[in-house]
Amino acid sequence: MQAMHSPLHNGLLAALPPLALGRLAEQMELVMLPLGEMLYEPGRQMQHACFPVTAIVSLHYVTESGASAESAGVGNEGVVGIALFMGGDTTPSSAMVRTAGHAYRLDRRALKQAFDSCTLTQRVLLRYTQGLATHMCQTAACNRHHSVEQQLCRWLLLTLDRLPGQELVMTQELVAGMLGVRREGITGAVGNLQRAGYISSRRGHIAVLSRSGLETRACECYEVVRKETQRLRALP
């Protein structure tokens, strides 16, 4: 397992100063994150930060009625647990694994110490946080103003950006839960995209056949998030 993965496979860790990364690497543990695992729950003290390598984690809020919707996803570009270096320690939201895979886990004290002791590390983590905030704001606008099909295309494209292949292991019911919409809406949107030849769907799997096709059906929200992420990564 150690030979297959490296901290450099996480974009945020790869952007850290080499000396800072070397210190953190000595304290990180490579772990397997199974589908559905809760990494943190509302109001509870976070114990670890997770830097996904092949896993994707969903940040979402659950209402008192039990309804929920994803505010953002975190994959190999980032970290789960920004409250640990932003000073909050807890959040009213939850983090759940939506694509099983590996991640590097780091104790909260080690992350906070790295953030406090290195200005360059601070800049990298804060720029990522700005990008995540953009992602969350754009998701909120998209969920309010755009069609279910446009939301689905945005979600599929953002997920593909974090995966090595073109197939997602995900049921339509789970996708509906992530987007906070009715299952019937997702079924209709999937049917439209299948008839257009952009995806194929079978039980528990969605395969993307034409990424460019999805891009033509998606709203502007995907490009806003993608361009802002690239801009922040390119800053010196």
Rounded Cα distance, 12 and 7, in Å: 9
Amino acid 232: pLDDT: 87
Sheet (strand 101-107) strand order: 29-33, 101-107, 48-52
Amino acid 3: pLDDT: 53
Amino acid 152: pLDDT: 93
Amino acid 1: pLDDT: 46
Amino acid 14: pLDDT: 93
Rounded Cα distance, 111 and 189, in Å: 41
CATH topology for the 147-218 domain: Arc Repressor Mutant, subunit A (1.10.10)
Rounded Cα distance, 136 and 142, in Å: 10
Please check whether the domain covering 7-142 is classified as CATH 1.20.120.1750: no
Contacts for 210 with CB less than 8 Å, ≥ 6 apart: 197, 198, 199
pLDDT tens track of the chain, all 236 residues?
A: 445 789 999 999 999 989 999 999 999 999 999 988 999 888 788 889 999 999 999 998 777 777 778 888 999 999 999 989 888 777 788 899 989 999 999 999 999 999 999 899 999 999 999 999 999 999 988 988 999 999 999 999 999 998 888 888 888 888 888 888 898 999 999 999 999 999 999 888 899 999 999 999 999 999 999 998 888 888 77
Q: Domain extents for the chain?
A: 7-142, 147-218
Q: Specify the 3-state DSSP secondary structure of 68.
A: strand
Strand partners, 104: 30, 51
Q: What is the DSSP string of 128-185?
A: HHHHHHHHHHHHHHHHHHS-HHHHHHHHHHHHHTT-SSSEEE--HHHHHHHHTS-HHH
